[in-house]
Amino acid sequence: MSTAFVLSFAMVLDALLGEPRWIWGRLPHPAVLMGRAVGWLEERLNNGTARRAKGAAALALLVLGAAMLGMALGLFGWPLEIIVVAVLLAQRSLVDHVRAVADALRMSVAEGRRAVGMIVGRDTAGMDRPDIARAAIESAAENLSDGVIAPAFWFLVAGLPGLLIYKIANTADSMIGYRTERYEAFGWAAARFDDVLNVIPARLTALLIAATHRGLQGWRAIVADARLHRSPNAGWPEAAMARALNVALSGPRSYDGTVQHFPWVHGFGQKDIGAPQIEAACIALWRTWGAGLAFVVVLAVLGAAL
């Protein structure tokens, strides 16, 4: 079975099942195991001198281990491949987590803060309703790229080794890729490698969002806003989602008690937003996923016909 066919079945399986609690309540999720591996290396190597070199060595070990594991799993054939890919995609769980913020916000702002705090790293204590909605929508857009499109892309390119390398790099970046005193040197290699791996998927995600909503007539504006983002990649899906929903995203937010004034993305969009706009983002996630699935199926059919 071709890689594209495997991916198409895995995407559907993930959409149907998500992350069943009856499995992951009993077994550690692969993402948890990856996090433990990153944490184990960080605890032992992130000290003393030459931390940047140690961080690069840790990343190399993680990437090598992921590649070898991917090759070993691939020997068991396509049924196991479908299961592994489905487990490592995050479409259903992403939609569920984002929709939970909308449901909580309908109950109260306090409940909305609690729910959005589960999916974002910024301060939530002082958030009002529009702040909560923006945070949820931004998380939806960025994680559509990181958790769905990028893993699918790297599986298409390099099979299970490519998928596992991407996931371990993304996990490492989320844990140690911060510009803090502890992580800036040690996590430098992980952050840069993750940036490189997401260059194409982030732009592909933006393209899919734009194409399935208002079309590509606003592409130049999406590109302009994406380039204002502090991340070389996260701004792309965020800018596309902002225009798909006609909402203003980014802007001021607080990290560790300090307010940071980031530029607005699609600043002419709606700013007084709430649960309805979060729900619209969930619909956008499924519409974009559907376009991605259709593309993969076409690749599979064409590959079989050649």
**What pLDDT score was predicted for residue 185?**
95
Write the CB contacts of 35 (distance below 8 Å, at least 6 apart in sequence): 171, 175
Write the CB contacts of 24 (distance below 8 Å, at least 6 apart in sequence): none
Q: 58 or 253: whose pLDDT is higher?
A: 58
* Three-state SS at 261: strand
- Whether 135 has a pLDDT exceeding 80, the answer reads yes
Question: What pTM did the predictor assign?
Answer: 0.95
**What pLDDT score was predicted for residue 305?**
81
Q: Number of structural domains, the chain?
A: 1
Hunting for tokens 């195991």 — which residue is that? 33
- What amino acid occupies position 291? A
- What amino acid occupies position 130? P
pLDDT band at 210 (very low <50, low <70, confident <90, very high): very high
β-strand partners of 258 = 255
Hunting for tokens 């994406």 — which residue is that? 226
Nearest-10 crossing angle of helices 235-245, 188-211: 30
Other beta carbons less than 10 A from residue 106's beta carbon: 14
Lowest mean pLDDT among 72-76, 92-96, 213-217, 240-244: 213-217
Percent of the chain with pLDDT over 90: 82
- What amino acid occupies position 115? A
Nearest-10 crossing angle of helices 30-45, 78-88: 70
Alpha-carbon distance of 57 to 51, in angstroms, equals: 10
- Average confidence score pLDDT of the chain: 94
**What pLDDT score was predicted for residue 230?**
82
Q: How far is CA 73 from the centre of its chain?
A: 24
**What pLDDT score was predicted for residue 57?**
97
Q: 21 or 167: whose pLDDT is higher?
A: 167
Is residue 300 within 8 Å of 2, Cβ to Cβ? yes
Question: What are the helix (H) ranges across 89-128?
Answer: 91-107, 109-116
Alpha-carbon distance of 289 to 215, in angstroms, equals: 16
**Pairs from 257-261 (Cβ < 8 Å, separation ≥ 24):** 257/123
Q: For residues 29-45, give the mean pLDDT.
A: 96
- Whether 271 has a pLDDT exceeding 80, the answer reads yes
**What pLDDT score was predicted for residue 220?**
93
- Whether 254 has a pLDDT exceeding 80, the answer reads no
Alpha-carbon distance of 198 to 173, in angstroms, equals: 12
* Domain of residue 276, residue span: 3-305
